Amino acid sequence: MRKYPNSRSEYAGNYLVIKKHDGNIAILGYRGPGGKLVIPAAIRGLPVVEIRKSAFQKSHLTELTIPYGVTIIGAWAFSHNELARVIIPPSVNYIGKMAFGDNQLREVTIPAGVGKIESNPFSSNPLLESISVVPENPAYTSVDGVLFSKDRRTLIAFPPGKGSGYEIPPWVITIGKSAFAWSSISRLDIPPSVTSIEETAFAGNYLSQLCIPSGVASLGAWAFYNSHITSLTLCRGLINIDNWAFSRNELSRIEIPESVVSIIGNPFNYNPGLEAFSVAPENPSYTSVDGVLFSKNHRVIVAYPTVRGGHYTVPPGVKLIEQGAFYSCNLSSVLFPQSLRSILKMAFAWNQLSELTIPPNVSRIGIKAFEHNPLTQVIMPANVNISASFGDGLADFYCDGKRAGVYINTGKRVPLRTVRDRHTGEEVDPRTDPSKYPTTEAIWTYEENQESAG
């Protein structure tokens, strides 16, 4: 449930509610007991028509009755409970992502009125064997217990309890967001008809070997995250790979085909045994230098092999280090070239860096670029974009709650008294109350101070 109700919400018994502009009621949260729950059709004489995002999340519910009249079930509305059965009333027309995720459902029926399903509302239900759809529904259908769009071109949701193997039908063009997420799939056949695999489509499975066929042009973010993949084949035809697509797997080598022209962030980080990248010589956008993945013109570092660790000297000419490029690579030190201009979000997060010297031409450092490193000293140029590097999160230079010393122009320290809360303008010192100013909050601005802190 929501911890911080807005100014127009109030509790009616155990329900945190808000009166909508049309005079009906939306439920925002719940503070009652778990177990069996019958949601009332009306509260204070007004119809309940909407269950908002996360309203009943983690409420220890075992049985649930949703009243007729509810039209909207928001994202995560009933997730993380112990529901074994739920009846979705015919009045519902929208179901948000993960609305019933992480429960103990065994079967689900989609009524005729549902016209929009956002992502997969039923992932992480290990006992769910079948998803049914009433024949009158104009937007969705079910084939052998699997949820599809009405034209069957998009696979929406695979029931996690259906089995460990599945042959995707030859009519499928798109595998939808989270369609197979956390389903324990270990055998998978992707037909040539599939052209797009959307974000988190196969996250959290057990696909030891995976071949992306030549028909697939696009892989969404987190598409195969944490899927225990040890062998990966990317066929010619693939064009776009989004961030984190193959992160947290068990890959040792990755070959980029000549057709790939767009890699967003680092789709391959946190593969602990990753030794090297190789790129087809004909690829017009990317290349490999000593196993490190670069843009073709050598100006951008895209991804560094996780297993190497130790020291790395960024080659001269590199201007940008991509998001997550060195994420969790066990680096102990890094030397930057004078050509460097930008270090993007989480580029060096979760390493073993103790000291940093940022070259004078760097003007941009992304949020959390150096979080979770044992940093003791950071030497920075005065012209760095302070609001971007620090203002979007002090976690950039935090490790285990300790702030590294930050120096301007090799010796001029910016005293902590010049740190200001962006919203109030108040001078603050995060060391005095770290709980009040957590490292994950984006609330900081900085002022340059000419004094030397010694």
Of the three residues 104, 134, 150, the one that is the final residue of a domain is 104
pLDDT value of residue 377: 76
Q: What's this model's pTM, rounded to 2 decimal places?
A: 0.83
Does residue 437 surpass a pLDDT of 80?
Answer: no
Q: What is the pLDDT of residue 10?
A: 93
What is the CB neighbour count within 10 angstroms for residue 154? 19
CA distance 17 to 414: 47
- Within 10 Å of residue 418's Cβ, how many Cβ atoms? 13
CATH of the domain at 87: 3.80.10.10
* pLDDT tens digits, 20-70: 999 999 999 999 999 999 999 999 999 999 999 999 999 999 999 999 999
Task: Give the bridge partners for 108, in sequence order.
Answer: 131
Beta bridge partners of 27: 17, 51
Report the range of poorest mean pLDDT among 154-168, 326-340, 347-361, 436-450: 436-450
Residue 164 lies in a domain: no
Q: Where are the alpha helices (DSSP H) in 326-439?
A: 386-389
Residue ending a domain, choose from 104, 120, 137:
104
User: What's residue 418's pLDDT?
Assistant: 37
Q: Which one has a higher pLDDT value, 286 or 426? A: 286
Residue 267 has pLDDT above 70, yes or no: yes
In a domain, 3, yes or no: yes
303, 292 Cβ separation under 8 angstroms: yes
Residue at 202 is within a domain: no
**Quick check: is 274 in a domain?**
no
C-alpha to C-alpha distance for 350 and 10, rounded to whole angstroms: 42
- Give the pLDDT band of residue 5 (cuts 50, 70, 90): low
Domain span at residue 82 reads: 1-104
**Inside any domain, residue 235:** no
Are 231 and 207 a contacting pair, CB within 8 Å? no
- What single DSSP character describes residue 243? T
pLDDT of residue 171: 96
Q: Is 111 exposed, middle or buried (0-12, 13-18, 19+ CB in 10 A)?
A: middle
Min mean pLDDT across 177-181, 230-234, 335-339, 363-367 is at 363-367
Please report, for the domain that includes residue 454, its CATH number: 3.80.10
CA distances 125 to 160, 261, 280, Å, are 6, 37, 41
Q: Which of 86, 21, 81 is nearest to 50 (CA)?
A: 21
pLDDT above 70: residue 89: yes
Domain stops at, among 36, 70, 104: 104
pLDDT, one tens digit per residue, over 199-215 is 999 999 999 999 999 99
The residue among 340, 339, 307 whose CA lies nearest residue 321 is 340
| Residue 278 pLDDT grade (very low, low, confident, very high; cuts 50, 70, 90) | very high
* C-alpha–C-alpha distance, residues 411 and 452, integer Å: 7
Q: Specify the pLDDT at position 352.
A: 93
Tokens of residue 131, six digits: 């998803």
Q: DSSP states of 365-395 as a string?
A: E-TTTT-SS---EEEE-TTS-HHHHTTT-GG
Total tally of structural domains belonging to the chain: 2
Mean residue pLDDT across the chain? 85
- Cβ neighbourhood burial of 23 (10 Å; 0-12, 13-18, 19+): exposed
Exposure b/e, 349-361, CB count within 10 A at least 16 = b: bbbbbeebebbeb
Please state the rounded mean pLDDT for residues 425-449: 40
Query: Strand (E) positions, 66-224?
Result: 72-73, 86-87, 94-95, 107-110, 116-117, 130-133, 140-143, 146-149, 154-157, 165-167, 174-175, 187-189, 196-197, 209-212, 218-219
Q: How many Cβ atoms from other residues are within 10 Å of residue 236's Cβ?
A: 11
Which tokens is 111 given? 């009524």
117 in a domain, yes or no? no
The answer to the question of residue 52 being in a domain is yes
For residues 290 and 310, the answer to whether their CB atoms sit within 8 Å is no
Compute the average pLDDT of residues 216-226: 97
**pLDDT one-digit tens code per residue, 130-170:** 999 999 999 999 999 999 999 999 999 999 999 898 999 99
Which residue has tokens 């009933």? Answer: 78
Sign of the CA dihedral with 7 first, then 13, 15, and 17 last:
negative
Indicate the SS3 state at residue 399.
strand
Ranking 125-129, 200-204, 239-243, 412-416 by mean pLDDT, the lowest is 412-416
pLDDT in tens, 287-307: 999 999 999 999 999 999 999
> In 3-state terms, what secondary structure has residue 416?
helix
Residue 248 counted as domain residue: no
